[in-house]
Structure 1
Amino acid sequence: MFHKLHFWQHIWRKIRLVESLPYLSLFLWMLPLLLFTSGHNSLMAHDEALYASRARLMFDSGNWITPWETAHHKTPGPYWLIASFYKLFGISDTSARLPSMIASIFSLWLVYEIGKIMLGKKLAWLATAILSGEFLWLQYSRLSTPDVPMIFLVLLAIFSLIKTELHPKYHYFWSFLAGFSLGLGFLVRSFMIFLPIIALLPYLIWEHHRHRHLTNPILYLGFCVGLIPTGIWLWLSWLHYGNQSFEELLKFVVQLGSEDREHNGPLFYVWNIPLKAFPWPFFGLLGLFLTVRRPIPLYQLILVGFPLVLFVELSIFSTRLSHYSLCLYPFIALLASVGLSWLGNIYQTGIHSQLFLKKGRKNILNLFAKNNLPRNLSYGFGGFGVFLVIASTVIISYGGSDIRKYATITLAMGLGWLILPVVWISRYHFSKKFLTARYWIAGWLITCWLTLATMGSLGLLSDYNPILRTFLQQSAIASIIQSHPIYYVQIDQKTQVLLNFYLSIHPQQVGSISQIPALSYALIYTDQSPKLSRTYRIIGTVKKYQLIQVLP
């Protein structure tokens, strides 16, 4: 008995040691979410495959400046980054995604450091753990797109601006780093970097009397140095394409600002963000209300002003897509940590937090405390969890193979939500007083983690085109595409960009089937094959396409 007790004490000491090392604990929390897969990977069309295939074009051609037939409409930062990882680790889906994964981990650590300064260590750790459990953030942390690398640079700039105030001794270093990060952001995300820069203006202008950032020449020097790689690329591109290099960059941003893509209206982010980051935006709204009632000293215009201004910018911007809002997600997590912690105080003491409200004041938050909102949330989500468990169990027992995969996710989510009422009932009905607010808060975190981990293990966060992947991996098909060019007459753009990445020899477009040389291979629509005048043999079929060989 003594040995068993000693063993568990040893385990507890190890756990407490990990807790005392926030960087390590956050890394261990996030790493499985980044790595869990079904054992297979395939790129998402359209954006991810575009970035990966363009980087491959640079890598294969050896031309990292002007590999395009005409001037390109985006700055080359993400292509250079992905192509560099091709050079280090070879061409693969994983290599293409590594830059975003690494940027995500460093972004999490920056959120922790920013949160630690603004809110304290406990809330900073909680905010970082919450960010890891936001679906859209995790999804784009595993995609070969420039969104997360750009957000890393924005967070680095914000962190550097704060450090400039805290450490006047190293004022020049932090000022330069802040400007450099924002300047380098232009290379990564083109004109999109100006949206977060504009969102920083309330802090830069209204707090100027304190920090003097806007009159700091080192900040502007860093910004100009950060622009140097973009300037060199533009100059070399101009030598090759002429004025078209500048025109394409400007035309693209004007097009984005005036194009209503997918008919997403001004209220798009009002419903899309709560859906893609559930349940954290609701805690974030509570945290926003709390911080407006009791502003955070010195940094209110970063914690609250930045996301509010950015949200308005994104809503006004005509092109509204889910991933454009990703820069809001770290701030949703920071505000959600405030809201969840406040609810945790009610859970544990039944009294609202003195950090944000004055005692005895009558308002809606006092009403929440009086009505014991944590209890209601525990029972409500617990009931929802019971429903999910029952429904998913029935589907897994009687449903088809495809729907079973999604039922497994709902089962994991349902089991997670049951933690909340179990913890509540155990504490308040069975006198398990050791179940403090930390356990109740952990219930929320574990549920989101478990759900996302299940999605990852089923391949839903890594294997986006399994049918095409399986087709291309067939031995007969693989031997052909590795040694012969593939022609196509007309295929949809998403399939085209996927083939641009996966085919060793770049596919070639022709105007008609008659232009394809004899004994060559072509990808055609299945419904076109009866109309072909030339003889051919079918090699394989995938989705709505056939791979054929044109015979003499």
Structure 2
Amino acid sequence: MRAFKDMMKKRYILFLIPFILYIALLGVMPQMEPDEARYSLIASAMNETGNYVTPHIKNTIYLEKPPMVPWVTAVFFKLFGENDFSARLFAGLCAWGCILLTFFIGRHFRDEKTGLYAAAVLTISIFPFILGRINILDMPLTFFVCLSIWLGYLSLSTEKKQYLFWLFYLTCALAFLTKGIIGIVFPFAILLIWLIWTGRWREILKLISPVGIVIFLMVACPWIYLAQKENSDFLWFFFVREHFLRFTTQMHGKAEPFYYFLPFIIGGTFPWSVYLIGAWQGKNKTTSLFQKDENKLLVVWFLFIFLFYSASSSKLVTYIAPLFLPIALFAGQIFRIYDEELTEPSGKRKIFYRLALYIQSFLILVAVLLPPILKPYSDDAKGLVVMISGQWWLYILPVVLVAILMIFLPDWIARKARSGWFVTMYLLSGVLLAGTLLPITDFLSPYRSSLVARDAIARYVPAGHLLYQYRINFYGIDFYNKIRTPVVEDFGELADGIIKMPEMEMKKYFFSVQGFHEKVEQEKEIYCITQFPEKLKQLQSRYAHVDVLWENGAFYLLHIRNKTKD
């Protein structure tokens, strides 16, 4: 019994377990295309060129996002080398920061125990677990936005602590440098609506701090000024196109229905949300939530961000990450009350709770047992790609074992020891999340990460020869092999930067399909990499001598000699 209580101490909940889940395991998976490799390549280019103002990808100007994440990643590259761990370290640290922030909010709203339960819930939520190990902007943005909301709340709730307002503006500036105007809109809008809802509208002007504004401008404006100085169209491109037009139009092709985020919010609370069914008691309706004004802050926090992105014409799953802090705070208090009393659910709720546990474990087992069944039917042309290795059964053993234990172990221990229900669920969930990393790596890496081709490229492509990417654009090929690859046709987000390049450079590194064929005819030999059999067949049908130097069923490293078929 004492062992269970010891596990609910700060050194475990706030430090040891988050460190293992969010830092120590960052290097298990290779970086996935295209997002992770994109930001790694930007950071690498910054260190190589010394230009930290204008982000570049493959020597093209990339002004879609501010440079905060590449800046920090560039620093980590200098400290720890250019690898998967250092590329993801900023995201992992920000996820850990969100866990600590959840603890402090829970402690302030209720007490330290509530803060620990809420922090534990966020730690084992699959959404931040995944996002906290991906080298993209959304987890750093989540940390800075949520921290600024919290500092703004403290500023309005605490007298004679003006420095909190200054920190509020500072974190807004850092959020802006992470992903743009949204880092300002969310904190101010949420606090403004909260003040109105709580009848404190007369305090709205307190949000305006002259010193805070100066701090914000001092932090954010130097980059804006220098970026505009280097790029004459920066202000229009960044503020109008990448903010206003992205929100109001479908120019980026990411339109989704209004309810798009709902299943991801529900699924993002896996695997602990099923246990909430058992923990929820009728009296929780009055005792589990926080004080009235504090409750309203969390509700506004959740609803404003959810409705804002739901109304947007551009939707991506990762946008909703800031919602999981208020969710964890509410759930943490419910778990805390139940864990202290351990009153087992009864009647229909008990049946529903047990059924939900069985269904969750069944779905986990289906997810890990289905790939070997589907592998013989893998067909990239039909959108089904299954390339798992022979080690799959070994990789899924921990997941299978934990999925079975999660059905009965927390409740069994609670009945035997009259404690330990939440700790058991917490530890099983943590092991489950960590255990999924090897199967996910085995499933995705063969076709979603170019790390699999790194050694083959180094072995077969002679130094001084260009490696052409035929109708693909994998940034990781450049990042992992430290080369610059010409791209055929698949320009995507690089198109705006390509037209600004010197003509000779553009013609050397960016080709249409026809331009590539003309290049092959001019050269004695071409080294080329492509993906999936369809593109390989296109080249084989045109050229008589296409040697496959290496392949894994998804990537094909080719040596093309310039004799076309008659």
* TM-score over 0.5 for the pair: yes
Q: Within 2, Cα distance between the matches of 1:238 and 1:37? A: 39
Q: Deviations over 1:358-411 (max 9, x none)?
A: xxxxxxxxxxx77484x4466335544785799799989999848645575244
C-alpha deviation, 1:286, in angstroms: 6.2
What residue ranges of structure 1 are gaps of 5+ in the alignment? 1-8, 351-368
Equivalent residue for 1:278? 270
- From 229, 253, 265, the equivalent of 2:257 is 265
Counterpart amino acid of residue 54 in structure 2: T
Equivalent residue for 2:332? 337
Q: Within 2, Cα distance between the matches of 1:98 and 1:413? A: 29
Counterpart amino acid of residue 119 in structure 1: R
CA RMSD of superposed structures (Å)? 3.8
Residues 546, 559 of structure 2: 8 Å contact kept: yes
Q: Within 1, Cα distance between the matches of 2:308 and 2:27? A: 40
- From 345, 354, 369, the equivalent of 1:379 is 354
Residues 280, 333 of structure 1: 8 Å contact kept: no
Q: Does 1:221 align with 2:199?
A: no
Residues 195, 204 of structure 2: 8 Å contact kept: yes
Counterpart amino acid of residue 271 in structure 1: P
Residues 287, 337 of structure 1: 8 Å contact kept: no
- Tell me the TM-score normalized by structure 1: 0.79
Aligned CA distance change for structure 1 residues 332 and 506 (closer, same or farther; 3 Å): same
> Structure 1 vs Structure 2: percent identity of aligned residues?
20
C-alpha deviation, 1:151, in angstroms: 1.5
C-alpha deviation, 1:455, in angstroms: 0.8
Q: Deviations over 1:305-349 (max 9, x none)?
A: 21122222122122222111111011111111133334446634x
Q: Within 2, Cα distance between the matches of 1:161 and 1:272? A: 28
Q: Within 2, Cα distance between the matches of 1:292 and 1:418? A: 27
Equivalent residue for 1:233? 223
Q: Within 2, Cα distance between the matches of 1:396 and 1:79? A: 35
Equivalent residue for 1:512? 516
Aligned CA distance change for structure 1 residues 394 and 263 (closer, same or farther; 3 Å): closer
Equivalent residue for 1:87? 78
Q: Does 1:521 align with 2:530?
A: no
Q: Does 1:449 align with 2:430?
A: yes
Residues 63, 237 of structure 2: 8 Å contact kept: no
Q: Within 1, Cα distance between the matches of 2:430 and 2:104? A: 22
Aligned CA distance change for structure 1 residues 94 and 164 (closer, same or farther; 3 Å): same
Residues 413, 448 of structure 1: 8 Å contact kept: no
Aligned CA distance change for structure 1 residues 209 and 87 (closer, same or farther; 3 Å): same
- Tell me the TM-score normalized by structure 2: 0.77
Q: Within 2, Cα distance between the matches of 1:533 and 1:385? A: 52
Residues 289, 330 of structure 2: 8 Å contact kept: no
Equivalent residue for 1:465? 445
Q: Within 2, Cα distance between the matches of 1:536 and 1:396? A: 32
Counterpart amino acid of residue 528 in structure 1: Q
Equivalent residue for 2:31? 43
Q: Does 1:296 align with 2:284?
A: no
Q: Within 2, Cα distance between the matches of 1:463 and 1:43? A: 13
Counterpart amino acid of residue 426 in structure 2: L
Q: Within 1, Cα distance between the matches of 2:483 and 2:270? A: 43
C-alpha deviation, 1:35, in angstroms: 4.8
Aligned CA distance change for structure 1 residues 154 and 505 (closer, same or farther; 3 Å): same
- From 48, 61, 65, the equivalent of 2:53 is 65
Q: Does 1:182 align with 2:172?
A: yes
Q: Within 1, Cα distance between the matches of 2:173 and 2:199? A: 21
Equivalent residue for 2:540? 530
Aligned CA distance change for structure 1 residues 501 and 487 (closer, same or farther; 3 Å): same
What residue ranges of structure 2 are gaps of 5+ in the alignment? 376-389, 488-510
Aligned CA distance change for structure 1 residues 490 and 200 (closer, same or farther; 3 Å): farther
Residues 485, 507 of structure 1: 8 Å contact kept: no
- From 88, 96, 101, the equivalent of 1:97 is 88
Local SS of the residue matching 2:52: coil
Residues 82, 95 of structure 1: 8 Å contact kept: yes
Q: Tell me how many residue pairs correspond in the alignment.
A: 505
Q: Within 2, Cα distance between the matches of 1:287 and 1:188? A: 41
C-alpha deviation, 1:514, in angstroms: 3.5
Q: Deviations over 1:44-70 (max 9, x none)?
A: 223222222222222222222235444
Residues 173, 219 of structure 2: 8 Å contact kept: no
Q: Deviations over 1:421-447 (max 9, x none)?
A: 4235xx3xxxx4x423xx222343233
C-alpha deviation, 1:529, in angstroms: 2.7
Equivalent residue for 1:27? 15
Residues 396, 435 of structure 2: 8 Å contact kept: no
Q: Within 2, Cα distance between the matches of 1:167 and 1:499? A: 52
Equivalent residue for 2:494? none
Residues 142, 461 of structure 1: 8 Å contact kept: no
Counterpart amino acid of residue 440 in structure 2: L
Q: Within 1, Cα distance between the matches of 2:39 and 2:137? A: 8
Residues 136, 277 of structure 1: 8 Å contact kept: yes
C-alpha deviation, 1:121, in angstroms: 1.4
Q: Within 2, Cα distance between the matches of 1:482 and 1:163? A: 60
Equivalent residue for 2:480? 502
Deviates more, 1:177-186 or 1:263-272: 263-272
Q: Within 2, Cα distance between the matches of 1:487 and 1:396? A: 33
Counterpart amino acid of residue 45 in structure 2: L
- From 412, 424, 435, the equivalent of 2:418 is 435
- Equivalent residue runs for 1:114-513 within 5 Å: 114-164=105-155, 168-169=159-160, 171-197=161-187, 198-207=189-198, 209=200, 212=203, 214-218=205-209, 221-257=211-247, 258-259=249-250, 261=253, 264-280=256-272, 283=276, 290=285, 296-344=291-339, 347-348=342-343, 371=347, 373=349, 375-376=350-351, 379-381=354-356, 383-384=358-359, 401=390, 404=393, 405=395, 409-423=399-413, 427=415, 432=416, 434-436=417-419, 439-456=420-437, 458=438, 460=440, 464-466=444-446, 469=450, 471-474=452-455, 476-480=456-460, 483-488=463-468, 490-493=470-473, 496-509=474-487, 510=511, 511-513=515-517
C-alpha deviation, 1:166, in angstroms: 6.0
Counterpart amino acid of residue 314 in structure 1: Y
Counterpart amino acid of residue 60 in structure 1: E
Q: Deviations over 1:263-290 (max 9, x none)?
A: 5311112222112222555749969983
C-alpha deviation, 1:202, in angstroms: 1.8
Local SS of the residue matching 1:460: helix
Deviates more, 1:158-167 or 1:242-251: 158-167
Equivalent residue for 1:55? 43
